[in-house]
């Protein structure tokens, strides 16, 4: 950076900063003349980490959000014509364990640059303190009938959770699991779901399918986990799993409980990725909110958030958005934010629990939501490490058969529409094609297939299944029992066993 003329560089203390914290640093850090114009994030994200596992490089722009495709395409183009690499020879070592600034001067004294070690934890938590009422949340946490458990999964969020829950909110250190960051995530897969967050699910009394196991007595009232770089989240109540799609819908329905939204007159718009269930759509319709269905990827939400500020378009903020892949956030930053989602749930719980009143639980809030809006029974099957040629051949076959599958009756379901999802951005007009294959059934059910762009080695095929039940229907069934016939339909439409050789998924969420 210094050799190429960059005159100010920030490095997070200990080299650790969560993805949402980096966004906060870009947007909130320092006076205007010190503001950074972008950031590199080196991370395995939610994939297995370590010397023999995954490693990725993210670039975030001056708005704090992920680089759009037009920028990453230009970056790639430039890499094809690199003719030399410049190195700042003799630059001093910087102790990343100590906050402070190191000034680097050229030998002839003609120029200088600054390398500053900054506090990534404080930058993020200071922002979150302006978003939430931590006093009300502390009153909830201090109730004798309420306790929490947070699993950092040996990812970057551990120091944030310690500072927030232990030091700021006065909770015992025992409420934290796996809170020491490790470069290989302790040999585990730091993805907050029912398959990999096993320490948390055991603590909260649920199995790999989110069903209760054992006795409820003595279990925490609230559980949450975050991933390797701190931008994803999973939320649970006592023996109760909240799907990411339901979580987004509940947050939208109760957004006015969150000071950040309430002080600005409430949310104006919500957005979800295409594979995410339509639960939030029902809330948007009831509350007359603008609704957007985008491809998977936070950059699409960022454009909507910045519609007015950067593009002179419609102002959609305050803005709430989320993905079924355990990502939720708002326009306080331009990334999904695991800790934000956890605090949002705690804020909602705090607003429903007056002092000395009977405890209103996570499960009660979700079931009341279903009774109001109906329930979108929803499940995702992940086939990880699949042979890529086979996975691509499967997607190509479904793409070629969209016309013939439209109108087809399979297993009692009529395919009203089979298509390949494409998106024209309403803000900048950019077009994103081939964003997943959709089978939209006549009764409103959906089957969707995607190849993941954020998985580890090989290919990951994701299969999404959704079936809606109105408020008058059976709302408390086991999801696997409700969508079982839809699974058989998905297998028939995709021929996934034939193309991949996989009889069962790696992960069911």
Provide the annotated active-site residues. 45
- CA–CA distance, 23 with 124 (Å, rounded to integer): 9
E strands in 154-296? 176-177, 222-226, 233-237, 240-242, 269-273, 290-294
- CA–CA distance, 52 with 42 (Å, rounded to integer): 15
| 8-state DSSP, 214 | S
Burial label for 209, CB within 10 Å (0-12, 13-18, 19+), is middle
State the sign of the Cα–Cα–Cα–Cα dihedral 138, 143, 144, 149.
negative
Helix 362-373, helix 279-287: angle, nearest 10:
70
- CA–CA distance, 465 with 381 (Å, rounded to integer): 8
- CA–CA distance, 322 with 338 (Å, rounded to integer): 11
Side-by-side strand order, sheet with 8-12: 8-12, 112-118, 100-105
- CA–CA distance, 304 with 283 (Å, rounded to integer): 19
> What is the pairing mode between strands 375-386 and 459-469?
antiparallel
Q: Which of 421, 472, 411 is nearest to 442 (CA)?
A: 411
* Token pair for 411: 């297993």
Q: Which of 113, 153, 118, 95 is nearest to 11 (CA)?
A: 118
- CA–CA distance, 114 with 256 (Å, rounded to integer): 43
| 8-state DSSP, 114 | E
Q: Which of 152, 149, 99, 156 is nearest to 124 (CA)?
A: 156
DSSP-based three-state secondary structure for 424: strand
* Token pair for 487: 């699974």
CA distance to 131, 260, 289, 305, per residue, from 318 (Å): 12, 8, 11, 8
């Amino acid at each position: 950076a210094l050799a190429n003329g960059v005159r100010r560089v920030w490095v997070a203390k200990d080299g650790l900063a969560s993805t949402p914290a980096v966004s906060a640093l870009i947007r909130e850090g320092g006076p205007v003349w010190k503001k950074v114009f972008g950031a590199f994030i080196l991370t395995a994200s939610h994939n297995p980490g370590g010397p023999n596992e995954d490693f990725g490089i993210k670039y975030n722009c001056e708005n704090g959000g992920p680089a759009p495709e037009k920028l990453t395409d230009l970056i790639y183009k430039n890499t094809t014509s690199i003719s030399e690499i410049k190195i700042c020879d003799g630059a001093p070592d910087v102790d990343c364990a100590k906050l402070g600034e190191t000034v680097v001067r050229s030998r002839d004294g003609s120029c200088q640059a600054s390398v500053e070690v900054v506090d990534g934890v404080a930058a993020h938590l200071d922002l979150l303190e302006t978003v939430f009422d931590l006093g009300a949340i502390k009153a909830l946490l201090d109730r004798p009938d309420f306790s929490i458990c947070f699993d950092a999964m040996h990812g970057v969020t551990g120091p944030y959770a310690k500072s927030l829950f232990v030091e700021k909110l006065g909770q015992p250190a025992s409420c934290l699991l796996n809170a020491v960051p490790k470069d290989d995530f302790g040999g585990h897969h730091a993805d907050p779901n029912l398959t990999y967050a096993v320490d948390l699910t055991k603590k909260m009394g649920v199995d790999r399918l989110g069903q209760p196991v054992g006795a409820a007595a003595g279990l925490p009232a609230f559980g949450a986990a975050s991933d390797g770089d701190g931008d994803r989240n999973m939320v649970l109540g006592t023996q109760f799993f909240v799907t990411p799609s339901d979580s987004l819908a509940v947050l939208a329905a109760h957004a006015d409980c969150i000071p950040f939204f309430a002080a600005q007159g409430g949310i104006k718009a919500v957005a979800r990725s295409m594979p995410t269930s339509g639960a939030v759509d029902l809330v948007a319709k009831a509350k007359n909110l603008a609704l957007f269905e985008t491809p998977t990827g936070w950059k699409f939400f960022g454009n909507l958030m910045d519609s007015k500020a950067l593009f002179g378009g419609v102002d959609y903020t305050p803005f709430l958005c989320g993905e079924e892949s355990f990502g939720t956030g708002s326009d306080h930053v331009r990334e999904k934010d695991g800790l934000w989602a956890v605090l949002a749930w705690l804020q909602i719980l705090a607003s429903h629990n007056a002092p000395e009143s009977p405890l209103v639980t996570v499960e009660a809030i979700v079931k009341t939501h279903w009774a109001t809006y109906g329930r979108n029974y929803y499940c995702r099957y992940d086939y990880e490490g699949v042979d890529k040629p086979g996975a691509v051949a499967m997607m190509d076959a479904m793409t070629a058969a969209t016309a013939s599958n439209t109108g087809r009756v399979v297993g009692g379901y009529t395919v009203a529409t089979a298509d390949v999802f494409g998106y024209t951005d309403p803000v900048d007009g950019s077009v994103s094609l081939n964003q997943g294959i959709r089978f939209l059934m006549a009764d409103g059910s959906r089957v969707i297939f995607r190849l993941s762009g954020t998985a580890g080695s090989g290919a990951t095929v994701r299969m999404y299944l959704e079936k809606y039940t109105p408020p008058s229907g059976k709302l408390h069934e086991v999801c696997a029992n409700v969508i079982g016939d839809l699974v058989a339909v998905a297998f028939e439409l995709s021929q996934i066993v034939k193309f991949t050789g996989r009889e069962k998924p790696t992960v069911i969420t």
